[in-house]
Amino acid sequence: MSCIFCRIAAGEIPAQRVLESEGVIAFHDLNPQAPVHVLVIPKRHIDSVGTAGEDDAALLGEVLLQCRRVADALNVTRGFRVVLNTGENGGQTVPHLHAHVLAGRSLGWPPG
Ligand code: AMP
Ligand code: ZN
Q: What is the mean pLDDT of residues 8-14?
A: 97
Segment 82-112, tens digit of pLDDT: 999 999 999 999 999 999 999 999 999 999 8
The predicted model scores a pTM of 0.98
Q: Which numbered ligand comes closest to the C-alpha of 27?
A: 1
What is 4-103's CATH superfamily?
Answer: HIT-like (3.30.428.10)
Percent of the chain residues past pLDDT 70, beyond the cut: 99
Q: Are 96 and 84 in contact (CB under 8 A)?
A: no
The domain locations on the chain are 4-103
Q: What is the DSSP annotation of 35-83? A: SEEEEEEESS----GGG--GGGHHHHHHHHHHHHHHHHHTT--S-EEEE
Q: How remote is the CA of residue 29 from the centroid of ligand 1, in Å?
A: 6
- Cβ–ligand 1 distance for 77 under 6 Å, the answer no
Q: Which numbered ligand comes closest to the C-alpha of 45?
A: 2
Segment 35-87, tens digit of pLDDT: 999 999 999 999 999 999 999 999 999 999 999 999 999 999 999 999 999 99
Q: How remote is the CA of residue 69 from the centroid of ligand 2, in Å?
A: 22
